[in-house]
Amino acid sequence: MKAELTSENSVRKAIDFDIDKEVVSREIDKRAKSIARKAQIPGFRPGKVPLVVVKRQFKAEVEQDAVEAIANEYLPKELEAHKLRPVASPKLEKVELAPEGSLKFRITFDVLPEVPVPAFRSIEVSVKKQSASEEMIDTEINRLRDAGARFEPAVDRPAQKGDFVEVDIEVTDHSTGQARKREATLIEIGHSGNHDELNVALEGIQAGESKEVRAVERENEDPNSPVVRTVDYNVTVRAIKVKVLPAKDDEFAKDLNFDNYQALETSVRERLERSLKHNEDIEIEDAVLNKLADLATFDIPQSLVDEQVEARTRRFAENLQQQGIDLQKINLDWNKVAAEQRGGAEKQVKLEILLDAIGKAEKIEATEADVQDQIKRLAARARTSEASLAGRLDEDQKARLTAQARDRRIIDMIRAAARVNFE
């Protein structure tokens, strides 16, 4: 057996194997015997099929199994000899099984790069400082007023934009084949969440009137582009109503359990400030990690990028399905979708490698308390107890949580070391 290691770059490796025909013949016989024990061929008793017949009848299967068995036997020895550790499953390529029985093949794989620890303590970012403006406070209070609104009948007139119609409605979504009915439900005419066709049909409608409406969603704004979704509405109007908002006064505040309107306004301001501070922290962390990724000067393993692209594309598809979209009925270019994920995937791989290098240099490890914090957050998101969630975790999931907790510690350290300028 001969093996030659070559490098495409610092992370992409290939080993070319040249296997003696005696080894190949032995492995083919072994695979053929395994198939012969269970093969059912007319004219032969089970387990009594001659090897020459098995090799001829199952030639492709026997040879493929033999090649894979030989590759699985010799690759680990070469990896150990060169002290190489693939980061993803190696790929078998360029298989050449000669007529006389010799075998050649190539196995390609990626390894992690050698990463110099980046100068993360010199990272500097700029973010816009935000505070709760009067306009933001007013918007939030109006949202509370909207939630406490009452609806009064619109007397002796047809419906107009901004009115609420109380309707019995049947909705048929032809992309999923699902139909649902709702009675005495309120629809705001002109709301951006409605199909335009429905808004147009409801303007000018009278109480007691019924209408059938078809809404069509297209791939883009071009009226001739392919249809991706068709929805039929059957609407009967029970009543036309006008929304009346409560006044901005102490009575309104007391309905929300505040002593007066000023106390309500103060509470809204404080809540907005907390939310803005949270968003600011996220923006700072994103900016710091973007700058960290820019410090990557090494080759990145494309196999890890491919895994990230696949995972991101899968999540994209799952999100569409959760919205009730039938993937079989939409005209999506999945190659284009995957290509759009590649930039983010490459950045993610760079960051994972950099964070690990920094963690090792700084000797950072996750503590039990860190892991428990991860479990606490997951349990809150899943609306279950921490003990219940922890009891369902297998070893791989525990290892992932530990890795995430370690990354969190490393990111917090990098964030604390960064210089942040507020604009």
Segments making up each domain of the chain, as ranges: 2-110, 150-244, 271-422
Which pair of tokens denotes residue 422?
Answer: 């507020």
pLDDT band at 36 (very low <50, low <70, confident <90, very high): confident
pLDDT, tens digit, 9 for 90 and up, residues 136-181: 999 999 999 999 999 999 988 999 999 999 999 999 999 888 899 9
Q: Would you state the pLDDT for residue 382? A: 84
Q: Would you state the pLDDT for residue 99? A: 81
Q: Would you state the pLDDT for residue 40? A: 65
Cβ burial 370-380 (10 Å sphere, 16+ → b, else e) = bbeebbeebbe
Tell whether the model's pLDDT for residue 46 goes beyond 70.
no
Concatenating the DSSP letter of every residue in 205-219 gives --TT-EEEEEEEEES
Q: Would you state the pLDDT for residue 418? A: 93
pLDDT band at 84 (very low <50, low <70, confident <90, very high): very high
Q: Would you state the pLDDT for residue 27? A: 84
pLDDT band at 371 (very low <50, low <70, confident <90, very high): confident
Coil, strand or helix at 223:
coil
Taking the CA atoms of the chain, what radius of gyration do you get in angstroms? 32
Residue 370 · residue 409 · CB < 8 Å: yes
Q: What mean pLDDT value characterizes the chain?
A: 90
CATH number of 150-244: 3.10.50.30
Which pair of tokens denotes residue 6?
Answer: 């070559």
Tell whether the model's pLDDT for residue 240 goes beyond 70.
yes
pLDDT, tens digit, 9 for 90 and up, residues 373-385: 888 888 888 888 8
pLDDT band at 45 (very low <50, low <70, confident <90, very high): low
Q: Would you state the pLDDT for residue 409? A: 93
CATH architecture for the domain at 271-422 = Orthogonal Bundle (1.10)
CATH architecture for the domain at 2-110 = 2-Layer Sandwich (3.30)
Residue 71 · residue 15 · CB < 8 Å: no
What is the CB-side half-sphere exposure of residue 420 using CA atoms within 13 A? Answer: 18
- Per-residue pLDDT, averaged over 76-87, amounts to 93
Query: At CB < 8 A and 24+ separation, what contacts does 130-133 make?
Result: 130/276, 130/279, 130/280, 131/273, 131/276, 132/269, 132/272, 132/273, 132/276
What's the rounded Cα separation, in Å, for the pair 149 and 255?
Answer: 12
Range in 93-97, 290-294, 303-307, 409-413 with the lowest mean pLDDT = 93-97
Tell whether the model's pLDDT for residue 256 goes beyond 90.
yes
Query: At CB < 8 A and 24+ separation, what contacts does 355-364 make?
Result: 355/407, 355/410, 355/411, 357/115, 357/116, 357/117, 357/118, 358/117, 358/118, 358/120, 358/410, 358/413, 358/414, 359/406, 359/407, 359/409, 359/410, 361/117, 362/410, 362/413, 364/406, 364/409, 364/410, 364/413
DSSP state of 390: H
What's the rounded Cα separation, in Å, for the pair 95 and 37?
Answer: 27
Tell whether the model's pLDDT for residue 286 goes beyond 90.
yes
Coil, strand or helix at 192:
coil
pLDDT band at 42 (very low <50, low <70, confident <90, very high): low
Q: Would you state the pLDDT for residue 370? A: 87
DSSP state of 226: P
Q: Would you state the pLDDT for residue 47? A: 64
Q: Would you state the pLDDT for residue 49? A: 67
Residue 132 · residue 276 · CB < 8 Å: yes
DSSP state of 120: G
Residue 189 · residue 161 · CB < 8 Å: yes
- Per-residue pLDDT, averaged over 17-37, amounts to 83
What's the rounded Cα separation, in Å, for the pair 127 and 251?
Answer: 40
